[in-house]
Amino acid sequence: MTIQQVKQRFGIIGNDPALNRAIDIAMQVAPTDLTVLVTGESGTGKEMFPQIIHQLSARKHNRYIAVNCGAIPEGTIDSELFGHEKGSFTGAVKSRKGYFEEADGGTIFLDEVGELPLSTQVRLLRVLETGEYIKVGSSQVLKTDVRVIVATNVNLPKAVQEGKFREDLYYRLNTVPIIVPPLRERKEDIHLLFRKFAQDFSEKYRMPVIRLDDKAKLLLENYSWKGNVRQLKNIAEQISIIEEDRLITYDVLKKYLPEDYQKLPMVYGGTVNKEDFANEREILYKILFDMRNEINELKSIVKSIAKGDKEPINISDNFFTEDKTITKIQGEIFDVNDDFSKPKFENPKFNKRDAYIEDTEEIVEESLSLKDKEIELIKKSLEKHKGKRKYAAQELGISERTLYRKLKEYNINTF
């Protein structure tokens, strides 16, 4: 059976290479009894892959049971999976078979396996390694021959680090990984899926098929689709029912799409992230250190001018020419070889060429406001990286979300 035949059989729409790769792995692993871990965001269609594996395996004539682990209360999950004996807990008026006993010889699909409590994870690990389990309230060891396929949208390696998921169980489940790509990474498939859903709802509700104009197609393909295929299907159904005009324009489609916060570095009105405080503290430290260095440099310049020192001042703001050194202070230009008691002002704003320095403190005056320095650093970083916020944020040592908030707060225009 080819990948295209599998798509037709199970109603899978799309030609994305990552999607084809996931289907190919499912086809190859189906004849074996290896445990499969299907990962992907919510709404990507992970539940299709256990069905493909089961139907292409030698177990296809036996039972296939799908269990949503996240929908079962923690207090009853062991009973649901492994069964219980009469009187083992309040409400256990009779013995009950669990899903592992019911699916003996077939396939069991554990969806949202990352939601399993730690005590149940121990029981599941034993089933995977030995095929043995014990009912709740019983001491008798039972055997089962079940093919286990699991799926989750949880980052299991991170859950392992946080102590929420057993490391040994993770490696036992991850024998063969299948990664289902999110819809936003399948741009060429988005319109195909929309057309399929529109056709289905047209037949279901007995009305003309909706179509998208070019701008609407572009909007559809560039939207983030946090709910993935499930969200796309819901949008197609809403438009099919509500809109009288069957040609959907950009403006009409935009009304049905929630604001695309995913493309922004941060969301206003949300909870405060502790990481933001750390990033802001880092940039304030950076500003303070830069201010201290600049003040020290300016002090050195002023002292040299006051003493009439003719040696070159070795700081970053000096400009060296072939035969002399010129020092720049607050827009005024001084030749260090000249008499510093009468500095030359080459700024065109001044009519007088010569003027005495009456108060050097006024010359080096600058704003010591943290806000001003922060704005200055942000502008310099954006200018250096030609308006690219990602690289500017890295240069400043802050997150892109924090930088975006600063741009809004200080009304800084990017370019």
Min mean pLDDT across 42-51, 69-78, 300-309 is at 300-309
Look up residue 54 and give its two tokens.
């089961």
Look at the block and give the residue holding tokens 């559809």: 220
**Could you report how far apart the first and last alpha carbons of the chain are, in Å?**
53
349 three-class SS: coil
Q: Which tens digit of pLDDT belongs to each residue from 28-55? A: 999 999 999 999 999 999 999 999 999 9
303 three-class SS: helix
> Where do the domains of the chain lie?
3-181, 184-263, 264-415
Q: Are 26 and 49 in contact (CB under 8 A)?
A: yes
pLDDT of residue 323: 43
Q: What pLDDT band is residue 281 in, cutting at 50, 70 and 90?
A: low
Look up residue 388 and give its two tokens.
């690219």
pLDDT of residue 260: 67
Q: What pLDDT band is residue 410 in, cutting at 50, 70 and 90?
A: confident
Number of Cβ atoms within 10 Å of the Cβ of 298: 19
Q: What pTM, to 2 d.p., does this model score?
A: 0.61
Determine the topology of domain 3-181 in CATH: Rossmann fold (3.40.50)
- Cα angle vertex 275, ends 386, 270, to 5°? 90
One-letter amino acid at 3 equals I
pLDDT of 321 strictly over 90: no
pLDDT of residue 397: 82
Give Cβ neighbours of residue 377 (< 8 Å, ≥ 6 apart).
Answer: 283, 286, 287, 290, 396
- Out of 13-22, 300-309, 318-327, give the one with best mean pLDDT: 13-22
Q: What pLDDT band is residue 117 in, cutting at 50, 70 and 90?
A: very high
Q: What's the whole-number mean pLDDT along residues 7-25?
A: 94
Q: How far apart are CA 178 and CA 220, in angstroms?
A: 27
Name which CATH class applies to 184-263.
Answer: mainly alpha
Average pLDDT, the chain: 82
Q: How far apart are CA 121 and CA 27, in angstroms?
A: 28
Top pLDDT among 25 and 308 is at: 25
